[in-house]
Every structure is written in C-alpha cells, then in structure tokens.
Chain A
Amino acid sequence: MINLEIPKKLRPLIDQAHQVGLNVFRPIARKYDTAEHEEPKELRMFGAIMRGMSEGGAQGGLNAKEDKSSNGSSNGHGEPQIKNGGQMATLLGMLELCWGDVGLALSIPGQGLGNAAITAVATPAQKERFGDKWAAMAITEPGAGSDSAAIKTTAVLDGDEWVLNGEKIYVTAGERCEAVVVWATLDARLGRAAIKSFVVEKPNPGMTVARLEKKMGIRASDTATIILDNCRIPKDNLLGSAEVDPKKSFAGVMQTFDNTRPIVAAMSIGVARAALERTKALLEKEGVRVDYGGSQYTKSAVEAELLKMEADLEVARLLTVRAAWMADNKQPNSTEASMAKAKAGRVGNAITLKCVELLGALGYGETELIEKWARDSKILDIFEGTQQIQLLIIARRLLNLTSAQLR
C-alpha cells in the first residue's frame, strides 16, 4: 500500500541522530573546518556510542547491521512482507548527522565507507573479523578516478598471503581508520573482471600514509594518499571470491555502490536541508515567508526560489528513500541508487550555492555556516561516482546499452 511517510519506528533513531548533529557537530563544525587535519577528539568516544546504537538495533551508521526485528507488514494475501530496515535507517541517520556537519559525520570512528563494503560483500566469518574495525575505502588512483576499471594497484598471491603494490589517493579517513578496503587487480590485462577488494588491517609495515590533502570543503575529514609497498595480508582478507569470472567479478565490487550511493545522496540532502532551513530562518527576519497557496508567479522572486528549492530537495529525498526501500526489500536498485545520487548531488550543491546568493554578504561570510556548506556540498556530487558517471549508469540501464556502446 502506497505510503511515502517515514515509519514511526525510525523516529527515535532519526531524532537521536538529529540531536547529535545539533549538539555535538554544529558547535565544533567551524573549529575543524579551520583546523584542517586536526583530529576531532570530541568524536573519539562517539564511535563506541554509534556501535552501541548499531548493535541495539537502532542503527545510525554506515555499517548498520541488518534489522532482524519483525517489522514487516502483510497485506493478507500471502505476498512478501514489506520491510523498512537497515538501509533506510542508516541513510536517514546519516542524513541527520550531515545536517549537523558532513565533514564530522565522515570522521566518526567506525563509520567508514569501507565498512559499507564489508557489510555488502563479506562472508560471515569476515564480518566477524573486520566488523568492529573502522574501515576506509581505497579505490581512486592518480591515473584512475571515475574509471575504476583502470586501476593499476596489483595483488599477487604468495603462499598464504596476498602482496599488494600501488598508490591510492582520496582515501577518506585514510589516516584515522583501523583498516582499509583496497581495490586491486589480479591481472591488469583482464580488465575489470580481475578487480577484487582486499582488507588491509593497521598497522601494516607495507602500508603508509604519504600525505593528507588540503581541501575546499569537508575539511574535518582527513583525505589521505596511501602507498602500498609489498604490503602483505592474509589470504582470507580478500572480500568475495578469488575466481576471475568476466561476468560477475566487477559487478561484485560495484555492488557496494548500490548501498553507498543512496547514503551519499542522503548526505547531500542533509547539507542542503541545513542550508535551506537556516536561509529561511534568516529571511524570515526580513519578512520573507513561504506561502504554499496561491500562484507561484505572484510570489516575490526570493519566495519563488525557496519554493523551487524545497520541491527539488523533496524530490531528491523521495528518490533516495526509494532506493533504500528497494535495498531493504531485496529489489535490484542500481538504477534507482544512481538516480538518487545524481539528483541529490546536483540539487544539494545548487541549493547551498543559491542560499549563499540569497543571503548576500551574510551568506558569503564566515559568521554563518552557509558558505561552509556551499564548499562542503560540492564533493557530494563527485565522490562515490560523479554526476556524469551516474547519468552514464542510468542511461546504459534505461537504454540497455553496454559500456562499449555508451562510453
């Protein structure tokens, strides 16, 4: 039965995450934007809390465990029960945290993108071994950004160990994390089929952080360059199968994105909602208030802009929750995950930029967080697949085209 309201049972989790965003992240957001590369110590104890929330069934992080509690609804016709489970909870929790601050949300110990990969593809034994570790994700290389099939980092089996060699860049939380999920190829000549993901636990003498990037936004989050120099890891640290199957392998590693893209979309929505709410509050002091009735053509220009932004943000939110709902109900959602990411990425960025514009000098200056959000939001239309990559994925699926046909 059609219902697009967020279920009541997720309310406590959302409220909790919102309180964290408001009371923990907001007060220190400017501090760690200014003090880039300084570890937000306020978050140290926070990882444990998040883990506790996660295990208590009230998920709030990227590595939320599957909600096993009975939450299905039966329509009485013996059809599959509808679930609102782990993915939706994770996503809505993350949205609120990012409403607080996206850079800090990315720095919560134990809540890395690598954790999402482990949750998506690891065996139960691997989940047992790595589940509690803060795992970063290392895909991008100096010569391979969106073209992740072109990665050059190699993995060679030597007895009971894999030996990894290569350079990884833009690794979010690469320094502070406890493990890194590394994408490497078993044989570069075999292309994407030979790409596998490996878990490298710290400390490992073969893995070093070469440098931290200086960035325009999300400065609270560390972004590392990682060197793998004869980095040896146990054979069991490969996620998924070691078999090189041209049909399946790359799909296996890409599957992670079906889970992470809607989460990044939610992050973008969180930042944009923060900017829009603050902008509305500041404009209200100038006597501007959005009236939902009447004609949009007789409203003031600023009122019409606010209404349009609200509509776009709501569309992005619904597309994102849909992708999570599909994941929770075991429906394939690659297209919908990309739609959510594409729409949320671009409107999130556009909204934050427009908010700066509408507020003028007040928006541009550092007394407000609006200018910061406008810097933070840009990355959300880039990482986990740029806007253009999302359109490519959507178009290929809609039009039934291969990557050779639609390049």
Chain B
Amino acid sequence: MDQLTGLPLKIMTQLAGSKRLQRAGLLKPLENFLYQGSKTVVSTAVEALKRARPVMKMVQPARMKPAGAPTGLFDLTLTDSQQMVRDTMQKFAKNTLRPAALHADESSSPPDGLLDEAHGLGLSMLAVPEALGGAGEARSPMTNAIVAEDLARGDASLALAALAPVAFVHALVDYGTAEQQGEYLPVFAGEEFYPAAVALLERRPLFDPHRLSTRATLQNGSYVLNGTKSLVPLAEDAQVLLVIADLGGKPQGFLVEKGTPGVTVTPEPTMGLRAAKLGTVKLEDVRLPAKAKLGGDEGIDSERLIDLARIAWGAIAVGVCDAILSYVKEYCSDRVAFGEPIVYRQSVAFLIANIAIELDGLRLLVWRAASRAEAGKDFHREAALVRVQAADKAMEIATNGVQLLGGAGFIKEHPVELWYRQLRAIGIVEGALSV
C-alpha cells in the first residue's frame, strides 16, 4: 500500500519542483488535479498497479462551460494566464521540439520520453474536467489555439502527436455520456502520456468530412463498422480511437479500443508530418457494443467537431508559418550576393513582407474563429474561412520560404524543406486536432 499512496506524492514532488509549471501558472490547477488524482488512484489501486485505465463513476456528464465572458470590446491582448501558457509552450517548442524535429521526421517517431514531457505541460490534464480528476475549469478554444500555434512553431508533427489525445479528450468532454467520460477520461489526467486519437479522414480524392465512406450499421443491438481511416496520428500506439463513421447519413463517433477484432492498423508514410506516426486504420466488420457510440442517443455535433479541428489546423499553420518568417528574415539578412545582403533587393524583401502580411491575416482569422467558439457564439462561417485561407496561404508561404533560401532551402541542413513538406497537409487534413 505504501507504493500506492506514494505514487501521487511522487508526482506532486516532481511537478511542484517544475519551474516550467510554476512559470506557467499551472501549479494551482495541478494541486486540484493531484487532490482529485490521489482519490482516483487510491480508489482504483489494483488497476493502477497493472497500468490499467483508471475509471470513475459519473452520475452525469461533466461538460465544461466556455471560458469566454468577453468585455465586448475588440481586444488582441492575451490574458495573463494565456501569456504564461504562451511563454511555456514557446520555450518548450524552442528548446525541445525544434531540436528533435529533423531526426523525428527521419525516424518517423517522436524521441523517447518527448510525449511524456509534453504531457507534463498539462496539455490533456487541463482538458479533463475537475470532476474527472483533471484540472480543467473551462473550455477555452482560444487558449487551445495558442497552444497549437506555439507547439507547431517548434515542430508541427510533434505538436500533432502531443495534441492528438487532447482532441479525443475534447470530443469526450463535449459529447460523451457520463459512463463514457468516467471510463475514458481519468487516465488522461494521469502521470503518463496516454495515446489516443480522433480518426476522421479517409484516403480518396475530394474527401468530404460530411460524406463518409466508413459506415456504421446497427445490427442486433451492436454497431458494425466498415471502412478505412487515413492519416490517423499515433495510429498504432493509440489505446483508443474515436472513429467518425456514417450512421444513417450523419457522421457519428465510435469508441474503438486497441485490439478490437476486425481492426487493422498499418503505418502510412507521407511527405510530411511523419513524426506523428500516421497510420491507416482499416475496419472490417468491427462489432462494437451500443455503449461505444459517443454521446449515446444524442450522438455528436459533427459539424462542430469538424469546425473545431479546422481552427486547430489553422493554428498549426500559423505556428509553422511564423517559424518560416523568422527563419527567412535571419537567413536573407545574413546571405550576401552581388556584394550586399539579399534583403536589400525588393524581390526578396517584398516576398518576406507578403509572408508577414498573410501570416498576420491568417492568425487574426484563427483568433476570431477561436474566440467566437470560446464565447459560445456560432463559428461555422469563421472556421470555413480559416480552412480556405490556410489551405491557400500556408503552402504559399512555405514554398516562398524554400525559394528565399534557394538551393539551401532544398537541403536538410535547414528546416525550411521540412516545413514545406508539413504544410502541404494544410487544406487536406480534417479532424485529428481540436481547440
């Protein structure tokens, strides 16, 4: 029993000593979490020892209220806590993600321990409601957009891997039944990174997230799933997937546990985003109990789920484009040709000015959509505009980024070619992330 009660204390000691968390202002929510967490861990002691998923009994689903209570004034100032989150994420992106990016791309895997470290920043812990052992007090798409942007500034693939479980958590918080929440969410407030993902995209031209080929049918009280999901982050590692499938003409979510018969997961190598361990998930007559349907009879608001993902991908694009702008500014200022720095030439300087304009524009578009979501306002149109603009401008910025470095942009000594490969995913990917 010593071992068991000692576990939360060990986490507490580690976390309390973390300067990063102190700076991020996460200690207070963490204290809440640890209080809740110790109850959870002790009450489910045996399971915890076996590293099984801790579960909680919930009477009713724990939904988080939107964080926004805006003053009504147009304002681009981050709150104090958002600024602290921003500082923390940017530091982690700079010191940990960026140095790991190229090797992770080449080995198609995050470095050992990196996802646990990212998890330690509180990414999914803050997404889990307090009632479920987490530290989440409110649903804040705006803060989530800042987190996505700042992590992507370090590396988009690693950001995707780190944030994939958060998208799963958001969907459970937003739509899950009390039973589903109690069963799946407490583990995300635990000590270790818990791989999970949302699987929406399918591998065919002209994919439309509202018209899915993957189908669920109700047969004798069970759901039977058939179809193939593509570019699923952490596909092979994921302990549980939220598979979005068509049920009677409408997309619905289904909780599919690792090892369920009929599920085949294979790696899916791509031109970029490789470190997120993308995979194909094939579902052949996968039989699921009725309780596996997310949200029970009410189901999910699939349009909202898709829109939140579009905002998140927009934020990822902003982060990478911001990295490109910083990089080309420095490179082109140092690079001398014809006897002077190449930024003295309008053809170079104007390309950089246009990167800055479109980057700022895209960021404002993402912020507007996210802040509307946070305030509980409709954001369907705004999310669509983010999607359209990001699809166009992110790739334009990336290809110009490589162009500005010339031959140097094409070789792996510089990260611009990696950003170019990653940003080709913008406008293609759907789902998988959330704000």
Contact = CB atoms under 8 A, between A and B. Distances in A.
Interface string B369-402: 0111011010011011101110110000000000
Given A5-B372, A75-B79, A293-B210, A391 B74 contact: no
B206 A1 contact: no
B71 A401 contact: no
Interface stretch (A15-23, A178-186, A319-327): A319-327
B384 A293 contact: yes
A231 interface: no
A144 interface: no
Contacts of B387: 296
B74 A292 contact: no
Nearest to B343: A399
A321 B372 CA distance: 17
Contact of B356 (A296, A297, A398): A398
Contacts of B59: none
A391 to B, nearest CB: 5
B346 interface: yes
A1 B353 contact: no
B343 A339 contact: no
Given A293-B210, A399-B343, A3 B365 contact: no
Interface stretch (A58-66, A168-176, A195-203, A309-317): A309-317
Interface string B397-417: 000000000000000000000
B94 interface: no
A71 to B, nearest CB: 7
A91 to B, nearest CB: 11
Contacts of B356: 339, 394, 398
Contacts of A398: 329, 352-353, 356
Nearest to B392: A308
Interface string B244-263: 00000000000000000000
B74 A3 contact: yes
Interface string A283-320: 00000000011111110000000011011101110110
Contacts of A267: none
Contacts of B98: none
B107 interface: no
B14 interface: no
Contacts of A392: 346, 349-350, 353
A88 interface: yes
Contacts of A216: none
Interface in A356-407: 388, 391-392, 394-396, 398-401, 405-407
B391 A296 contact: yes
B178 interface: no
Contacts of B352: 395, 398-399
Contacts of B349: 391-392, 395-396, 399, 401, 406
A353 to B, nearest CB: 18
Q: How large is the interface on A (under 10, 10 to 19, 20 to 34, 35 or more residues)?
A: 35 or more
Contact of A1 (B71, B361, B364): B71
B73 A84 contact: yes
A400 B367 CA distance: 27
A73 interface: yes
Given A2-B76, A7-B74, A295-B209, A314 B357 contact: no
A180 B360 CA distance: 36
Interface in B296-323: 303, 306
B346 A3 contact: no
B333 interface: yes
Interface string A12-30: 0000000000000000000
A307 B385 CA distance: 7
Nearest to B211: A294
A298 B206 contact: yes
A322 B363 CA distance: 12
B72 A293 contact: no
Contact of B333 (A292, A311, A339, A399): A399
B365 A318 contact: yes
Given A2-B367, A295-B209, A391-B353, A7 B72 contact: yes
Contacts of B421: none
A71 B427 CA distance: 40
A321 B210 contact: no
B72 A2 contact: no
Contacts of A83: 73
B365 A315 contact: yes
Given A4-B367, A399-B329, A401-B343, A294 B361 contact: no
Given A293-B384, A401-B343, A314 B72 contact: no
A51 B15 CA distance: 61
B365 A314 contact: yes
B371 A293 contact: no
Nearest to B208: A295
B364 A307 contact: no
When A and B form their complex, which 8 residue pairs have the shortest distance between CB atoms, in order from nearest?
A315-B361, A292-B384, A395-B349, A73-B71, A318-B364, A4-B368, A394-B353, A395-B353
Given A75-B80, A405-B341, 8 more contacts: A7-B72, A73-B72, A311-B392, A325-B74, A394-B356, A394-B357, A398-B352, A399-B329
Interface of B: 68, 70-80, 82, 142, 206-211, 303, 306, 329, 332-333, 341, 343-344, 346, 349-350, 352-354, 356-358, 360-362, 364-365, 367-368, 370-372, 374-375, 377, 380-381, 383-385, 387-389, 391-392, 427
25 contacts: A2-B82, A2-B370, A3-B70, A3-B371, A5-B74, A5-B377, A71-B73, A77-B80, A82-B71, A83-B73, A84-B74, A292-B384, A296-B427, A314-B385, A315-B358, A318-B364, A319-B361, A339-B360, A391-B346, A392-B349, A396-B349, A398-B353, A399-B329, A406-B344, A407-B344
Interface of A: 1-9, 71-73, 75, 77, 82-84, 88, 292-298, 307-308, 310-312, 314-316, 318-319, 321-322, 325, 336, 339, 342-343, 388, 391-392, 394-396, 398-401, 405-407
